[in-house]
Chain A
Amino acid sequence: MARQSHPTMSRALQRRENISGYLFLLPSLIFFIGFVVIPMIICIVTSLTDANMHDQGMFGNFIGFSNFTNLLSDETFLEALKNTFIIVIVSVPTVCAFSLWVSSVIYKLSGPVLSAFRCIFYLPVVTGSVAVTVVWKWMYDNYTGIFNHVLKGAGLIDQNINWLGDSKYALWCIILILFTTSVGQPIVLYVSALGNVDQTLIEAAEVDGANGFQVFWKVKWAQMMPTTLYILVITTINSFQCFALIQLLTKGGAGTNTVMYHIYWTAFKLTEQAGHFGYANAMGVVLAIFIGLLSALQFKLAKEK
């Protein structure tokens, strides 16, 4: 980034730029500071207090880091954290690999076919999280669900499986839905990245006798690194925040509790302490730290490559 005050600018001109710059920024800044920065500050500050949802004031009593130390021995939270990590560890690489594969097959197809495929893989996103969840719940249903019908018809299972009620399957069922709603954007990104790969480099590699696999790995993959990085970061963030699926399908039961759902549950539903606001925010801070660390790690790994 250039020096902040331009060396060749006169002071009057700099003043003019300052005023007009901030005037153009003002409307956006009001919303950004008011509804993003301030809630973040509230989140961090209240995570150090015993504030609850029914207090009239915003903040309760300062209790230091005990919310955080309590988290370490909160088994429900640790279980939720474990589930969240399973979701992230399974879904991020599969989403990334799958969308790369799909894109590498479709990016050379002719225009209309390409956009048709791109559209189809984007459909679950556009259908909307609630509509998607509602139909999957029916598809997984014990008695009227299509999964049990088809699998029984094919002779793969003898008895109906209660997909969302059985802790052996429930988390995997949720990961499958999350997967279908996550690949749309990466595919769009990879298709465009593959289209932008420098053709002269590919030709040079082929002249040098590289095979298809080597061309892909050494030339295309290397050039798509920034795209891959972006996809990794957004998929990680989305997987960490998995909420609607849990709330609508299992309510955190059958071993599917996630941190995001647990935050919601703690803030609104905790019966004996009705709305433990500070504690919920402490979990939020922990989640944000995890996401921040993972994003930083991914950036670092990508830079080294």
Chain B
Amino acid sequence: MKIETGQGRAYKIASIIILVILAFLFTFPLYWIVTGAFKNGADINATKPIWVPTEWVMNNFDKLMKQRSVPLWEIYLPFGSFFNGGKKVLLTAGPEAPAAIRWLINAVLMCVLAMLITCLTAAMAGYALAKKRFNGRAILFSLIVCAMALPKQVILIPLLKEMSALRLYDSLWAVIFPTVGWPFGVFLMKQFSESIPGEILEAARIDGSSEWNTFSTVVMPMIKPGIGALAIFTFINCWNDYFMQLVMLASGSNFTIPLGIATLQAETSVDNGLLMAGATLAAAPIIIVFLIFQKYFTQGITMGAVKG
């Protein structure tokens, strides 16, 4: 072991102290959201900082729930508007409920669907790119890498026109499909699939396993950490893609919770208590998902970068 010089040690201690201060500053916005959500009106509008709420109240959440009400769910016939003169065909609608609840359901549903479809299609495509020797593989892979370097938001405006032509505008699918199409997942899954030994696939083939069986029983278990990483990545990206939600979703019942909160901010720009209650609802689901899958996450970010 090397002997620490006095200077080196002082530097080390100083940097740890700075780091702890920074850690507090980085957690502060989240602390401010959560405490703000439970502060009473006087604390919110105080002209000196109220570090800890003088009393913990629920009325910001009450106000949020009373904002407006929409059906708890509405399920439409897919592509029904093509046969019904442009109008959607409603299959079933739920009872009236506070809009914030519906927005929360919408956002979770949207992200979970995007996550499931992305994981399945990307795992299949990544496996094919890594292990199948088909013609055109190299060209396809370079196309995918090039597309990844392009700014995603630039295609949003043209995407809007396409979605309205497909009659998907103002539905959660308009956000889900482009999220699934983004090639990062394929790229990540290819990196993970590279590490599967060819002999195992060969052995499965000789045993007479069908292509699909090989994929689902041999490949899938081996790339599980990759799928975990991709799942959480997709969930967080989908949740945070405010621009896409803003462009694609138009009616109050189809909003997601982030978009709904942003709209409330535009409408009631002064009620910070209400906004913090909304922000708490908008932040809670992804923070929970993040904490559960954190292990996969670190792995996933690193894999995507190092092998790329």
- Bound-state Cα–Cα, A1 to B140, Å: 12
Task: Look across to chain B and name the residue whose beta carbon is closest to the beta carbon of A234.
Answer: B305
User: At the interface, yes or no: B134 with Cβ under 8 Å from chain A?
Assistant: yes
User: At the interface, yes or no: B83 with Cβ under 8 Å from chain A?
Assistant: no
User: At the interface, yes or no: B203 with Cβ under 8 Å from chain A?
Assistant: no
Q: Which residues of the other chain, A, contact B156 by a CB distance below 8 angstroms? A: 39
Q: Given A20-B211, A130-B282, A144-B272 in contact, is the A240-B151 Cβ separation under 8 Å?
A: yes
Task: Look across to chain B and name the residue whose beta carbon is closest to the beta carbon of A18.
Answer: B134
CB within 8 Å of A: which residues of B? 2, 8, 12, 15-16, 19, 22-23, 26-27, 29-30, 32-33, 36, 44-49, 117, 120-122, 124-125, 127-129, 132-138, 140-141, 144, 147, 149-159, 161-162, 165, 177-178, 180-183, 186, 211, 215, 236, 239-240, 242-243, 246-247, 258-259, 261-262, 265, 272, 275-276, 278-280, 282-283, 286-287, 290, 294, 298, 301-302, 305-306, 308
Q: Is the CB of B133 within 8 A of A5?
A: yes
Q: Is the CB of A21 within 8 A of B49?
A: no
- Bound-state Cα–Cα, A119 to B31, Å: 15
Q: Given A28-B186, A123-B30, A189-B302 in contact, is the A42-B158 Cβ separation under 8 Å?
A: yes
4 residue pairs, one from A and one from B, having the closest CB atoms = A21-B134, A21-B132, A28-B125, A24-B128
- Bound-state Cα–Cα, A183 to B24, Å: 15
Q: Is the CB of A58 within 8 A of B165?
A: yes
- Bound-state Cα–Cα, A128 to B286, Å: 8
Q: Given A31-B180, A144-B47 in contact, is the A288-B135 Cβ separation under 8 Å?
A: no
- Besides the contacts A123-B27, A130-B242, A130-B261, what 18 more A-B pairs have beta carbons closer than 8 Å? A21-B128, A24-B132, A27-B125, A32-B181, A43-B155, A126-B236, A127-B29, A129-B240, A131-B261, A134-B265, A136-B29, A138-B272, A185-B301, A188-B302, A227-B305, A248-B262, A264-B243, A288-B154
Q: Given A28-B186, A123-B26, A130-B279 in contact, is the A244-B33 Cβ separation under 8 Å?
A: no
Q: Is the CB of A24 within 8 A of B158?
A: no
Cβ-neighbour of B287 out of A28, A46, A127 (below 8 A): A127
Q: Which residues of the other chain, B, contact A90 by a CB distance below 8 angstroms? A: none
Chain A, range 192-226, C-beta contacts under 8 Å to B? 192-193, 196, 206, 212, 226
Q: Which residues of the other chain, B, contact A292 by a CB distance below 8 angstroms? A: 149-150
Q: Is the CB of A128 within 8 A of B134?
A: no
Cβ-neighbour of A126 out of B211, B287, B301 (below 8 A): B287
Q: Is the CB of B16 within 8 A of A105?
A: yes
Q: Is the CB of B301 within 8 A of A36?
A: no
Q: Is the CB of A34 within 8 A of B177?
A: yes
Chain A window 58-88, contacts with chain B (Cβ cutoff 8 Å), 1 for yes, 0 for no: 1000000000000000000000000000000
B interface: dominant SS: helix
Q: What is the total number of residues of chain A having a CB less than 8 Å from a CB of chain B?
A: 102
Q: Is the CB of B121 within 8 A of A28?
A: yes
Most buried by A among B36, B46, B161, B247: B161
- Bound-state Cα–Cα, A38 to B178, Å: 11
Q: Which residues of the other chain, A, contact B306 by a CB distance below 8 angstroms? A: 192-193, 196, 226-227
Task: Look across to chain A and name the residue whose beta carbon is closest to the beta carbon of B245.
Answer: A130
- Bound-state Cα–Cα, A29 to B94, Å: 35
Could you pull out 27 A-B pairs where Cβ atoms are within 8 angstroms?
A: A4-B137, A14-B133, A18-B135, A27-B124, A29-B125, A31-B117, A31-B121, A31-B180, A32-B147, A58-B165, A102-B19, A105-B12, A115-B294, A123-B26, A125-B236, A130-B282, A134-B262, A134-B265, A134-B276, A180-B29, A189-B305, A227-B306, A230-B305, A264-B157, A288-B151, A291-B151, A295-B149
